[in-house]
A = this chain, B = another copy of it.
Amino acid sequence: MTGISELGEFGLIGRLAARLPAAPAVLLGPGDDAALVAAPDGRVAATTDLLVEGRHFRRDWSGPYDIGRKAAAQNLADVVAMGARPTALLVGLALPPATGTAWVERLYDGLADECAETGAGVAGGDVVAASEVTLAVTALGDLGGAQPLTRSGARPGDVLAYRGRLGFSSAGLDLFRAGADGPAELLDAHRRPRPPYAAGAEARALGATALLDVSDGLLQDAGHIAAASGVRIEIDTARVPVPAVLGPDGLRHVLTGGEDHGFAGTFPPDAPLPPSWTVVGTVAAGTVTQGTGVVVDGRPAGPGGWDHFSS
């Protein structure tokens, strides 16, 4: 097995670049001081996230291909949540020098395959030595002349709805921690989210007033919309489906579990929402300052979702 220390930095970068498929928006790919990415709108949506070994993934739970897909997905979902079309990723990779080349190549395959789901490409990156694996992924996107779908447009009278899975990744994480070997559906959901990328354009067409991807948990992310919009969001748990596979803690996973990267948004009350969207709450005037900033079944909800530094 070839280790990356034998290839050297430039050898590794060349080898990885050769694996990347072409993408229409990547006008100039890896190999120069900077990449060049199409931004026909004249504005570019840009977001960056770090994934650190042992905190955001574990190499004994997830293979490199899934880690690559997850790292790409969480950034691509952020771009889609702005109502933009992903165009390119930049990938910074910190690796222990003993890492095998094949492991890194599979990681890149995962990044490239997840990009392909949205039409984006990997435009460039950086590889450095470190004591733990860290991925720093930046995603770029194009708005196509439309206004961004921010978190601040929710208005009293709107409904809160989501599209995509909730709680699956969180339930899978609990299983990994307990040493369980199934259900595979949940373990796989933790290894690799499957954001319904079409939800961005769909939400725009449906007249969404605010949109985000659920990365911190439905309560906490709805709280982000409430805070940015200066409104009160009321969630009715009777309207929240809890798939049986999530087990006895299903409702907690659905309300507070992050990392599935579905999409939640607010819509005018008469928006013709198709069955792909589930309405779980309403927007009212006023604000809630306690806890997550949302009201659940009539009471302000305590802290939930994820906060990387607090317990």
Q: Which residues of A contact B (CB under 8 A)?
A: 4-5, 7-10, 12, 27-28, 31-52, 54-56, 77-79, 81-82, 84, 88, 90-94, 97, 123-132, 134, 136, 138-141, 143, 148, 150-152, 211-213, 228, 307-310
Nearest-neighbor residue (CB-CB) of A31 within chain B: B228
Complex Cα distance A148/B31, Å? 13
Are B150 and A50 touching (Cβ within 8 A)? no
Query: Which residues from B are CB-within-8-Å of A143?
Result: 36
**If A32-B82, A141-B34 touch, does A48 touch B129 (CB 8 Å cutoff)?**
no
Query: Which residues from B are CB-within-8-Å of A93?
Result: 50
Query: Which residues from B are CB-within-8-Å of A136?
Result: 48, 50, 92, 134, 136, 138
Query: Which residues from B are CB-within-8-Å of A32?
Result: 82, 148, 150-152, 212, 228
Query: Which residues from B are CB-within-8-Å of A92?
Result: 48-50, 92, 136
Query: Which residues from B are CB-within-8-Å of A7?
Result: 309
Kindly provide the distance from the CB of A108 to the nearest chain B CB, expressed in whole angstroms: 15
Complex Cα distance A23/B202, Å? 32
Query: Which residues from B are CB-within-8-Å of A39?
Result: 39, 41-44
Of the residues B31, B46, B84, B309, contact of A129 by C-beta under 8 Å: B309
Query: Which residues from B are CB-within-8-Å of A46?
Result: 34-37, 88, 90, 123-124, 138, 140
Kindly provide the distance from the CB of A213 to the nearest chain B CB, expressed in whole angstroms: 6
Nearest-neighbor residue (CB-CB) of A86 within chain B: B34
Complex Cα distance A97/B84, Å? 33
Query: Which residues from B are CB-within-8-Å of A152?
Result: 32
Closest 5 CB pairs of A and B: A136-B136, A39-B39, A34-B47, A33-B81, A48-B90
Query: Which residues from B are CB-within-8-Å of A97?
Result: 309
Are B309 and A36 touching (Cβ within 8 A)? no
Are B34 and A45 touching (Cβ within 8 A)? yes
Nearest-neighbor residue (CB-CB) of A40 within chain B: B42
Are A50 and B128 touching (Cβ within 8 A)? yes
Of the residues B10, B33, B40, B212, contact of A78 by C-beta under 8 Å: B33
Query: Which residues from B are CB-within-8-Å of A38?
Result: 42-43
